Structure 1
Amino acid sequence: MIQIDDTIISRDIVQQNFICDLSKCKGICCVEGEEGAPVTEEEAKQIEVLLPSIWADLSVAAKEVIEKQGITYLDRDNDLSISIVNGAECVFAFQDAEGYWKCRIEEAFEKGKTSFKKPISCHLYPVRLQKHRTFTAVNYHQWHICKGGIELGDQENRKLFQFLKEPLIRRFGEDWYQQLIAVANYITNTEFKM
């Protein structure tokens, strides 16, 4: 394990090769699983503000879930999570003409409708954060649907922390990321740069 400030980081973050390969997984992480994506109260507020501008684009089933319970719910660990349809599919997920699962929130960001890109838990995936009393655990979530991401990472020799540079900086800041690079250089005996 690696400690930077109040985070405890799995060594997999700096050792595992990974680049998300949408051509293989088609974004299935948006629709598979047992819980919705973790979200902070602040993120939920930002999504509530954005909701009217994307409402017409949501599926009928997603609208029904949101009308019944809202955009979030408390999961079995009592954590705030994005609401899901049929026990799996994110209410903001949609499938494009090529069969890729995408996010209505991120689509709105790309169209300039909002400055909020998407929940940090989605942006960081396959890294998951777990808040403890005195620290935040930063772990690599290994899932069979991401096998293509490992293969592409191996082909390009790109580490998980490099692939996730933008969301890691978004969540923890540039100074934290610089410290992570220094640790990665030491552990892997490689010269990574910002």
Structure 2
Amino acid sequence: MHLYSAGDPLILIIFVSMIAIDNKLISDEVIEEQFVCDLTKCKGGCCEDGDAGAPMEKWELEKLKTYYEVVKPYMTKEGIAEIEKQGLYLYDKEFGWVTPTIDGAICAYGYRDKQGIIKCSIEQAYNDGKLDWKKPLSCHLFPIKTKKSRRDPDIEYVNYEPREDLCKAACSLGKKLKVPVYVFLKDSLIRKYGEEFYEALAATAEHMKNSKED
């Protein structure tokens, strides 16, 4: 484990396969593995492949309430019907607050473009400058998943968890382009934890790289 306190001079304590930045425990795979989404191959399948809709943070529920009418024109008729049936979001015993899905598959806020790639209606509205919320953080961070510790709610785990089959193309493209997971997800990691956290993570990655080269 590599220990770094954001905002302090770099302090590294090496244990096993985790990086600690303040109260976040990050898997070494976030730095060591490589990943770049290949939408031409996966077609955005993570938006419909899963046991529930996209997990959402509590503050994001208010965003949905505020912006639903702005997002609605980008949605499919099926998605709108599902929202009217289930609500803007729902609670899952395992995953917490999540977006509704259509027949247990595609997210109610998803739609397919002309190439058959699943896109997010929330993100499209954001790209068009109509709201200040890009999309649920859990979607933006994928294939990183975060989870609070049951024993200590102040501790949060940050793990790299690509789908074994769905993400094969992304893993291959990442290796081909030599893009580490944390670099590919720079914007989402900063959005989740802030610039200081990302700088600490990048510094740790550089330290680990230099240590291997020595």
Does the alignment reach a TM-score above 0.5?
yes
Is the 2:52–2:95 contact (alpha carbons within 8 Å) kept by the matching residues of 1?
A: no
Q: Distance in 1 between matches of 2:185 and 2:35?
A: 9
Q: Encode CA deviations 1:48-85: one digit per residue, 9 max, x unaligned.
A: 21111232332232222211221211113161111111
Matches within 5 A, 1:147-162: 147-162=168-183
Unaligned runs of at least 5 residues, structure 1: none
State the superposition RMSD in angstroms.
Answer: 1.5
Residues 54 and 108, structure 1, Cα contact 8 Å, conserved in 2: yes
Within the candidate set 51, 69, 75, 1:34 is matched to 51
Determine which of 61, 69, 75 is the counterpart of 2:78: 61
SS at match of 1:176: helix
How far is the alpha carbon of 1:37 from its aligned partner?
0.8
Amino acid at match of 1:182: A
> Structure 1 residues 128, 78: closer, same or farther in 2, change over 3 A?
closer
Local SS of the residue matching 2:167: helix
Q: 1:163 to 1:107 in 2, by over 3 A?
A: same
% identical equivalent positions: 36
1:80-113 deviation line (CA, Å, top 9, x unaligned)? 1111111121011000011111000000001111
Partner Cα separation in structure 1 for residue 30 and residue 60 of structure 2: 24
> SS at 2:166's partner residue?
helix
Task: Trace 1:28-107 onto structure 2 (pairs within 5 A).
Answer: 28-77=45-94, 79-107=96-124
Kindly name which structure, 1 or 2, has the bigger radius of gyration based on alpha carbons: 2
| Structure 2 gap ranges (5+) | 1-17
Preserved CA contact (<8 Å) 2:74 2:125: no
User: How much does 1:154 deviate?
Assistant: 0.6
1:181 partner amino acid = A
Contact 1:105/1:117, CA 8 A, preserved across alignment: yes
State the TM-score, normalizing by the size of structure 2. Answer: 0.85
Match of 1:4 among 21, 24, 34: 21
CA contact (8 A) 2:55 2:95 kept: no
Amino acid corresponding to residue 20 of structure 1 in structure 2: C
Report which structure shows greater RCO (CA 8 Å, sep ≥6): 1
Aligned residue pair count: 191
| 2:161 matched residue in structure 1 | 141
